[in-house]
Structure 1
Amino acid sequence: MNSRRDFLQKLTASLIILNLPGQVSAYAATSGLNTQTYDGPPLRVAIMGLGSYGSRVAEAMQACKKAKIVGVISGTPSKISTWQSKYNIPAKNCYNYENFDDIKNNPDIDAVYVITPNALHRDQVIRVAKAGKHVICEKPMGLNAKECEEMIDACKKANVKLLVGYRMHFEPNTVEIINQRSRGEFGRILSFEGGTGFPIGDPTQWRLNKALAGGGSLMDVGIYAVNGARYMVGQEPVWVTAQETKTNPAKFKEGVDETIQFQLGFPNGAIASCVTSYNISLDRFVLNGDKGFAELRPAFGYGPIKARTNKGELSFPHVMHQTTQMDEMAGIILGNNKPVFPVDGEEGLKDLKVIDAIYLAVKTGKKVPLSL
């Protein structure tokens, strides 16, 4: 994790670049993101789950214009104390996993960002919704499509918004490539290649615990390939095939996948070939059309994201993804803004339908039809 000093240095450099003549207008014109000045009230967010990613989000939010950390929810009292001091959070906005339903009586909190192990998402999101607060849920949204449907229903019933932490949907290089594809600059899309993976360390961590993670690499970094294939091709897949490789069954126990290769078929005939792994370093997307190509490498890491097309390299300045994500999500929740690519519960549900089908294809060895 970057230190606060490193973060501030990088942020300062990014802001300097953003303020160079012509840079802001170019960014706004090509990214499709909302870059208008904002002078309204911020989205007041409580973060649930104060682990490494929760800390990254909190650091990034210090540069947000539309979102502010005002509360925390954690099962570790020492973490709560640390965050109180670091982010000036009042005691009345601090909760644990037993009493956080009481946020319904706290007018200082607008939304809760759920950043906990995958298996906890469903129940926690539903509880937040019942408390009358908007929800941002880290991906994967749930353990399966059924859980996602229950979360969506609960939020609709409570009349609160449900968003999913798709930070790449706001990353400017990614957005620009999708805009170029939408304009037909790559011609007819023929194929997509997606590689997402890293050699995972500590065998006792929750990501290698089936009960908490719901799977292995596919449920973690694999969702970037699933989601990326959908937004890069610009269509919804209609079938999937998949194969699993496991070289270390002692570390990757039953139900925890080490490496999965999967293929998605699209209505226009395009094919996506993807690999997700807890054993191989992979971070690359390639989109091929009959008139051009686009490559993101790295494609989903924390950045800087590097991108090029058949016309040359893209060169958008790097800002922490979570800073942009939270500002844009504040606009969605407070101002009903519409993002270039959806980040709502229905988007999360579609990815879990694909993941469910991938696991079924691995199990049966058959092509599995999809209807999203």
Structure 2
Amino acid sequence: MNLAFFRTKGNRYSIAALLGALEDLETKLAIIDKPEKLFELPDNFYIALSFMSSEAPDQINLAKELIRKEYRVIAGGSHASARPLKLLKYGFYAVFTGEAEETLRSFIKEPRPGLWRPSSPIILDNFPPFSLKYKAFSPIEITRGCPFRCAYCQTPRLFGNKVRHRSLEKILEFARKSVAHGRKVARFISPNAFGYGSNNGISPNPDAIEKLLKGIREAGMREVYFGSFPSDVRPESVTEEVLDLVKAYCNNKTIVIGLQSGSERVLSLLRRGHSIEKALYAIELISKKGFVPYVDMIFGFPFETEEDVQKSLELSLFMHEKFGAVIHAHTFMPLPGTPFENLTAHISPGTLKLLGRFSSKGIIKGQWQKQVDISAEISSLEE
């Protein structure tokens, strides 16, 4: 089989993992980084698109053009997992839901059109976190699956609620291989970095975390980042002991933590599973240990009242002034497959003005303005 992956900024880590899973198969693989280059491929190539819902409008339009040119286009990723039948109606040859390491291997061995679903969650140790053969590197995924059920998030719907950790031995094996290839900056992929090695993915396992970070250093990594993108942390998992380990072994000056709203009412509707008090305790602890708290907040939920929004803005200012926090603002996006998929984002002009004012003062960062348009585009796909 001839298979070409279209690689973007949004899917580059997923593509690296899939390429790692395919290294031992006899197939001709191509990695294409520019959309126009896809149209130069021979027509015997299958073209693989992997995309999030935020990328779906552009990716679907690209697919339709390729299909008109009689290419066989296959799809995976969070949007395909949430809307597989709709993509098949658009003319995609095959659609893969959930984890695709095993199903894509089966497709390459015996391609058939239609819907491909995994039979069970994969064991992370059975597959490389990236591809040495194809020189497609990424941060090492240490944990997959999320025990929480936040109503706006696709992650638990994509990977399930059961937490699976990559073993320390496998992580260090690929860390050493990275160093051997001159890649000496270690980052990790995890829905909650501080949950690594724990049974429930929530309560920290300091012994496992220390073995991980110490081992990564001993593997020859020059820089280590843990608890910053793409391995954010949950408030419930922040402890003094874990922060001391990060301070001892890591280079990051920030810790990325999700709060999402300053309203207890909204947090309950989001199914966050923690209180504002719990989050503020974690953020204060992060600050006391010398890190800059980088706090995720979401605006634009249609059920937010003016009072809810005011509470989020006031709390954002308080965290900045009290703990030196930087607020990472997002616009709510109605992601398919989530309980909030049928909602429509709404941010008032007054709120946008206040966010802009906070941004000019360095209190808030983020792409919330761009996300207003993306959110509307996602909603239009559902019409």
TM-score (ref. length: structure 1): 0.30
